[in-house]
Amino acid sequence: MSERLTRILISFDCDSIAPDVLEMLAVLGDGQNMELTGLFVEDEDLLRAARLPGLREVSLTGEVRNLSVDQISRQVSQQATQAKARFEASVRKLNYTGNFRIVRGHALEPVAAAARGSDLVVITRSLRSSGLRARLGLAFETIVSEHSNVLFVNEPWASGSSVIALCESPEGGCARALATARRFAEREDLDLVIALPAGTGAEPQVNSRERVVRLSDWGETGIVALCEREDARLLVLSPSKQLDWRNLLVRLMDRLSCSLLRLED
């Protein structure tokens, strides 16, 4: 991260972001000034698909109807307008520095391009979406591969009762991730669970709202089971020699309902 300015890109993969999500970004600023850029992509692939003959839309209630290109285009534009208005209102309220861009492009290509000048990339993914803009974790593979500091906010943010920090070794390179997890837990009044692989060295010092657990399965299955058992709101991943964290993060997006944060020291 920059010493004087933390540049944060927020990609709206759903149509809105709750004000409390923007408020909690101050935790990631490490006390530095933040410059927020909101980005909404009007997906050309979605509009192209709507033009295919014979394509039907199935609603959550089971209703089947023909897709209207004009209707889809209006819905996407409406989502963009709503996201912009909510972003700008929250930025003013929180006294942040920020701007919002609406672009048209192919899926996440504009996001990947904009992210290259950012210190932190935030992707909002609604778990209660109608499905128009829902994406699997694999769609974000390029962004995850190119950026070490990424946050996937699985809306709604205010769910779950704990923050989990994965630390391969308390003496290793997880200092920043652990400190950030602690700030999140304190700010949100949540329990902090520090997960270490079984058989590692000394345990970190903890307070009354913190616990240390040892995972015999230091991999995807064990991590998913821990997050479900602890009702996680946020999972914080630190640098790891044992885990291919990029592939792990992509897979976890499709298996966990909590938000996911990956930070480099």
Question: Which residues have a Cβ under 8 Å from the Cβ of 183 and sit 6 or more positions away?
Answer: 27
pLDDT in tens, 206-239: 888 899 999 999 999 999 999 999 999 999 998 8
pLDDT in tens, 1-18: 445 568 999 988 665 566
Contact call for residues 57 and 50 (beta carbons, < 8 A): no
Residues of the chain with pLDDT under 70: 1-5, 13-18, 29-32, 50, 53-62, 64-67, 126-134, 155, 170-173, 201-202, 265
Q: Which percentage of the chain shows pLDDT scores above 90?
A: 32
Where helices occur in 95-174 by DSSP H, the ranges are 109-115, 141-146
What pLDDT was estimated at residue 174? 82
pTM for the structure as a whole = 0.85
Contact call for residues 7 and 37 (beta carbons, < 8 A): yes
